[in-house]
Amino acid sequence: MNDSFYIQKYLDGNSKAFDKLYKKYIEKIYKFVFYKTMHKESAEDLTSTVFFKALDNLEKFDDSKSKFQTWLFNIARNTVIDHYRTQKTNSNIEDFWSIADSNHLETTIGNNLKIEEVKKYLKTLTPEQREIVILRVWEGLSYKEIASIIGKSENACKVSFSRSAQKLKDNILLIIIFGQIINLIK
């Protein structure tokens, strides 16, 4: 069954149909939000908000314009932007990187050192390049989906990713490993 099937079932009154979509995308959306906030509790709260917004606006989704996954990532991206806009801070929304929380001091110290190393390399990228790397490497989205999410052409996303990869050349492995570390500390 594809996403449109479950969307239609939900719109026809089957409230449990949305559960299938939630289960299919919760981990991807959580990871995307976490990579943008680097804060576990914020990521959890914002991910919930994303799914509430999706549920509230499901009747507006048009599968002839985009895939449900792309639409959901757009909601997630905008939710993170809104989150930072409402913060009373002088930090740049795109350059904000806080430390992830963990219950174990030893794990936290080790992960923080690795996170700091990855942050150092990611900060060499523009905010747009960082977002493209996150969506391509960690979320495995196609260039077409990324283009739809960030509002650029597919070719521009390919070029940006290529330039980012060139810039990070020796350090891209570290970034991929970071994605695996995040899965361990969730």
List pLDDT tens digits, range 169-183: 656 555 555 555 555
Distances (CA, A) of 140 to 69, 75, 101, 107, 173: 12, 18, 25, 27, 15
Model-level pTM? 0.65
- Do the Cβ atoms of 5 and 20 come closer than 8 Å? no
Q: Which burial class, exposed, middle or buried, applies to 170 when counting CB atoms under 10 A from its CB (0-12, 13-18, 19+)? A: exposed
List pLDDT tens digits, range 102-159: 444 444 445 555 556 666 777 778 888 888 888 888 788 999 999 999 999 999 999 9
CATH code: domain 104-185 is 1.10.10.10
List pLDDT tens digits, range 38-72: 888 999 999 999 999 999 999 999 999 999 999 99
What pLDDT is attached to residue 164? Answer: 84
Q: How far apart are CA 65 and CA 79, in angstroms?
A: 20
